A = this chain, B = another copy of it.
Amino acid sequence: MDLLQLGRDTLAKQPFSQLVGAQLTRFDPEGTELRIPIRDALKQQNGFVHGGVVSYAADNALTYAGGAVLGTNVVTSEYKINYVRPAIGQELVARASAVHAGKSQAVVQCELYVIDEGKETLCAIAQGTIARLAAAASAE
């Protein structure tokens, strides 16, 4: 089966991803791309995309990037995110990939961009650990 289709099927089964409106546009061992059309419901009081939405995108893109290399059911153990600019625009794009994959976990990175009138600008970066479920003590 197509890996991208498999990823999309999983995303379709995540009610919160549906609530946010996330779309999986790439999913292979070299990289994952998640896109979120920006609408008012995703904003905070100043009209920027809420940090929680950017976090959701980082968290989910990192998890997918880990799953693409660990080839199994995974969970996010932890991650860290640095916001560099307010996200203002029409679409949020998260691109993640694995920096290293071991037997039970992968170390992953993610860059988050906002697209405003066709121009893509970095708005956050993230780095974290994705664990295989069997090895995930924290999810037992």
Q: Decide if the interface of chain A is mainly helix, strand, loop or mixed.
A: mixed
Instruction: Flag A1-41 by CB within 8 Å of B: 1 or 0 each.
Output: 00000000010011111111000000000000000000011
CA distance A103 to B137 in the complex (A): 5
Q: Chain B's nearest CB lies how many Å from the CB of A131?
A: 8
Nearest Cβ on chain B to A135's Cβ, whole angstroms? 5
How far does the alpha carbon of A53 sit from the alpha carbon of B57 in the complex, in Å? 11
Give the residues from 55 to 104 in chain A that come closer than 8 angstroms, CB to CB, to chain B. Answer: 55-60, 63, 75-86, 99-104
Contact of A129 among B13, B129, B135 (CB under 8 A): B129
Considering residues A16, A20, A41, which has the most beta carbons from chain B within 10 angstroms of its beta carbon? A16
Q: Footprint of B on A, CB under 8 Å?
A: 10, 13-20, 40-45, 50-53, 55-60, 63, 75-86, 99-107, 109, 122, 125, 127-129, 131, 135-140
Extra A-B contacts (10), CB below 8 Å, given A15-B43, A78-B78: A14-B43, A16-B44, A20-B52, A52-B59, A77-B129, A78-B107, A80-B81, A82-B99, A84-B102, A85-B100
